[in-house]
Structure 1
Amino acid sequence: MRVIAGECKGRPLKAVPGTNTRPTTDKIKESIFNMIGPFFEGGNGLDLYGGSGGLGLEALSRGMDHFIFIDKDQKAIHTIKENIKQCNYEDRTEVFRNDAKRALKALHKREAQFDMIFLDPPYAKQMLIKDMEEIEKLELLSIDGRIVAEHGTDVSLPEHIGNFHRIRQETYGKTTTITIFRRH
């Protein structure tokens, strides 16, 4: 795993030890950023199921200003912090160990709002629709903000979830689908 483009291009990233976390492959990560970017002029992001932090770090390398990483697994939190340090992004990131629902409520209390939210939960425990409904209810996505959801091919997401409209969906191989929503 590595950072694909931007100021940290080529920088290696560590994967979370064990089998609980499934890292986004470089090929899929490159496809995601070809769909949503490829580069950004600032903005704030949230990686709700941080894993190794690869998606958020890629967005920072491509021009996002600030990213918050959430994960409930201690090994993932440690790996995210190591990868942040590897990219010298300590001053542009925050890392919290928490479950998704509690984290969203805490971010709402901070009056946080994001231009980009990555949702890449473990495939066996996906609650993407509930997560997105909560994000909408708590008004965490900015106007014209995007949600990038990575999920199994067996998960079907509707065209609309509240004020979020599906703008693109691509399937990779037999296991992975990327669905992008925009807030209107």
Structure 2
Amino acid sequence: MAKSRTKQQNQRPAGHIRIISGQWRGRKLPVKDVIGLRPTTDRIKETVFNWLSPYVRNSRCLDLFAGSGGLIFEALSRYANSGLLFEKDPSAASQLQQNIDLLDADNATLVRGDTLHLLTTVPEHRYDLIFIDPPFRQDLLEDCCAKLEANNWLSADAVIYIEREKELNQVKLPANWTILKEKQAGQVCFELYQRT
């Protein structure tokens, strides 16, 4: 009984995300109610994309835990060249694909699977802008960052956005990542790094 209730929970629409700026400005996209999915709020997104304004246009983007797609769709709306989305949850992935189709975003590619496993493969391209917003309290962040470096996923001066829980304050990141910006909103810390 509990199982079917969880399944229903996973498939119920939770609401919408809104694209703030660019070619799809004002578009609302449906989001499924998936356990652990926390769409980045409009307020945080606005701050983040102010930070990212010098880097987005014509960039090749990678979203490691795409979830609602809020970050990658915002980047593509602002004329990023392409976006690769990783998502493990079948329900969230299905909604992401529907939203890609809805936007007719032929420069967005969804890969369904476990991010840590996907990062062990050799990428077809290197990426300029990376979004890392893993589910909280699952110890995924450090491993992801190490694999990005170890397996040549990053362009020479890639910019990396990280969203994490506030209490996770001892994070070991690659030594060649320099912090550019950081801010906190409630229980969420968000940071921007550049590879040097």
Same fold (TM over 0.5): yes
Name the SS for the 1:161 alignment partner: coil
Residues 72 and 158 of structure 1, relative CA distance in 2, 3 Å threshold: closer
d(CA) in 2 for partners of 1:150 and 1:179? 7
Gaps of 5+ in 1: none
1:116 aligns with one of 115, 119, 129: 129
Runs of 4+ in 1 over 6 A off after TM superposition: none
CA-to-aligned-CA distance 1:144-167 (integer Å, 9 cap, x gap): 111101011111255852321222
- Offset at residue 16 of structure 1 (A): 2.4
Aligned positions, number? 180
1:82 aligns with one of 98, 107, 111: 98
CA-to-aligned-CA distance 1:22-58 (integer Å, 9 cap, x gap): 1111111111101111673302111000101110000
8 Å contact kept, 2:142–2:172: no
Partner of 1:36: 52
Name the SS for the 2:31 alignment partner: coil
d(CA) in 2 for partners of 1:36 and 1:159? 23
User: What is the letter of the counterpart of residue 182 of structure 1?
Assistant: Q
Partner of 2:71: 55
Partner of 2:111: 96
Residues 57 and 182 of structure 1, relative CA distance in 2, 3 Å threshold: same
Please tell me the root mean square deviation across aligned C-alpha atoms, in Å.
Answer: 1.7
Aligned-residue sequence identity (percent) comes to 31
8 Å contact kept, 2:180–2:193: yes
8 Å contact kept, 1:48–1:70: yes
**Is residue 180 of structure 1 aligned with residue 192 of structure 2?**
yes
**Is residue 131 of structure 1 aligned with residue 144 of structure 2?**
yes
- Offset at residue 96 of structure 1 (A): 0.9
Gaps of 5+ in 2: 1-16
User: What is the letter of the counterpart of residue 93 of structure 2?
Assistant: I
**Is residue 105 of structure 1 aligned with residue 98 of structure 2?**
no
2:156 aligns with one of 143, 150, 157: 143
8 Å contact kept, 1:151–1:177: yes
User: What is the letter of the counterpart of residue 181 of structure 2?
Assistant: R
Partner of 1:163: 176
d(CA) in 1 for partners of 2:151 and 2:175? 12
What is the TM-score with the length of structure 2 in the denominator?
0.85
- Offset at residue 178 of structure 1 (A): 0.5
8 Å contact kept, 2:62–2:85: yes
d(CA) in 2 for partners of 1:41 and 1:50? 19
Partner of 1:27: 43
What is the TM-score with the length of structure 1 in the denominator?
0.91
